[in-house]
Structure 1
Amino acid sequence: MEEQSKIYVGGSVGGNFIGGNATGNVSNIINHLPSSSEADQPGIKELLIQLQEVIEADPNLSDDDRNDALKQVKDLAEAAQNPNDVEMKNKAKTADRMLGRIMKSVPQATQFLEFCNNLLPLITKAFGF
């Protein structure tokens, strides 16, 4: 049964997504990020929490698209732990591109689209691109 779970969520996603508990694992990684130092401005942690919530709430995302998008949020959160590292910047760039592709493939996912169009640039700004 564990092997089936790996295949269902993309196989290479690995340990954190096995068993379909993507949400809890993404939340756990995000929660390790520091909160914004400015009370009136969301930081990377707050933006990723919002992105995760939008992905989970948008009824127009299929389970596959939702899992793929959550994996990208996970990758962004991991990269945000060390945003100046070249490997982490590349991981964040890949996640940004993948989220863009998901947005284009699911145009009826309006909540997801609106968030990504407005706030994804703020998330990627943390990585300097």
Structure 2
Amino acid sequence: MEEQSKNYVGGSFTGNFIGGNASGNVSNIINELPSSSEADRPGIKELLIQLQDAIEAEPNLNDDDREEASEQIKIIAEAGKNPTEGEMKKLAKKATTMLKGIIVGLPAAAKLAEEWNNILPLIAKAFGF
């Protein structure tokens, strides 16, 4: 029996996904949302910026959780483009549940946990759930 040769494709993959491109992509999507029309009340855009900043600054999050949290914010931002549409509400609600699961694992004194407790009711109100 002849031995078959195997071909491998060589090369390398470089880049900074966590905290770099992932965060940049989320920021781009958030920035597509309209700003709040009321100066004294943050809208979904401002809330998501605040939440994303808190996630990036949280030292108690490991890289996997930080990446997952950013992905959930991205989903909420996409849903925020049409927050009254039924499917978008479902997506946003699932994403907030996922975020809650990540944040519950943090120490109670974590800054992100504090931010989350302030932001979640406002996000829920924006989507009507």
TM range (shorter): 0.7 to 0.9
Give 3-state SS (helix, strand or coil) of 1:126's partner.
Answer: helix
Q: State the Cα distance separating 1:108 from its structure 2 match.
A: 5.5
User: Percent sequence identity over matched residues?
Assistant: 61
Paired AA for residue 48 in structure 2:
L
- CA displacement 1:22-78 (0-9 Å, x = unmatched): 110000000000000011111110010000000000111111111111111101100
8 Å Cα contact 1:58/1:109 also seen in 2: no
Q: 1:108 to 1:59 in 2, by over 3 A?
A: farther
TM-score, normalisation: structure 2: 0.82
Residue equivalent to 1:8: none
Runs ≥4 in structure 1, deviation > 3 angstroms?
none
AA of the residue aligned to 1:48: L
Point out the structure with the larger helix share. 1
* Shift in alpha-carbon separation, 1:54–1:109, aligned structure 2, 3 A: farther
Query: Which consecutive unaligned segments of at least 5 residues does structure 2 have?
Result: 1-11
Of 114-123 and 25-34, deviating more is 114-123
CA separation in 1, counterparts of 2:45 and 2:58? Answer: 20
Range with bigger deviation, 79-88 or 24-33 = 79-88
Once the two structures are TM-superposed, the CA of residue 107 in structure 1 deviates from its matched residue by 2.5
On the 8 A contact 1:83/1:89 being kept in 2, the answer is yes
Amino acid of the structure 2 residue aligned with 1:93 = K
Question: Could you say what the CA RMSD is over the residues aligned between the two structures, in angstroms?
Answer: 1.9
- After superposition, residues 47-62 of structure 1 pair within 5 angstroms as 47-62=47-62
Write the distance in 2 (CA, Å) between the matches of 1:79 and 1:121: 16
TM-score where L is the length of structure 1: 0.82
